[in-house]
Structure formats: C-alpha cells, structure tokens
Amino acid sequence: MVNRAISRLLDEDADLRWAVVVSAYLEHDINLGKAAELLGMHELKLRDRFIQLGIPLRIGPADVSEAQAEVDAIRSWFSDLKP
C-alpha cells in the first residue's frame, strides 16, 4: 500500500519526481539513461538540462568493474548477431 501511495505521489507531482530522480542520480543509484527514462525525457535533453543547472554529468564507467560489464555486454550482443 505504501509503495502504491509513493508511486502515485511521484506520478502526480512532477517537482517531487524531479527531486527524487536527480537525488538518486547524484547518489550514483541510477545513471543518466535511467534518470531520463524515469523523467520521461530523452537522455540528450536531460543532459542539456543538467548542464544548464550545473549538475555534474557522469559519462562512462565509474570503475573497472563497470567497464568490464560494458565490454561483456557488448561482446554478448555481438555474439548474438552471428548466424
């Protein structure tokens, strides 16, 4: 019941949704793409908005394990394309 109430509140209050999503982004809980998805915006538009507001952009992997995960995902994607 609490989750539904919170979800409804976030759906109805755009300012609150913005604050929660930006906070999650700044805390490294979500990336820019997920933030854009949650806000219903294109990632490039959100990137521009963050720049205008002085919100730091996190582009690329944060550490070696994130970089390795990206490499593994790309390899998997390409292996799936082989006939």
pLDDT for 82 equals 61
Number of H helices, E strands in the chain: 5, 0
Domain boundaries, the chain: 2-58
Longest dimension (CA), the chain: 48
Please list the pLDDT of the chain residue by residue as tens digits (83 residues). Answer: 766 767 777 788 889 899 999 999 999 888 888 999 999 999 999 999 999 999 999 877 777 888 888 888 888 888 777 66
pTM of the model: 0.66
Question: Rounded distance, CA 40 to CA 20, Å?
Answer: 14
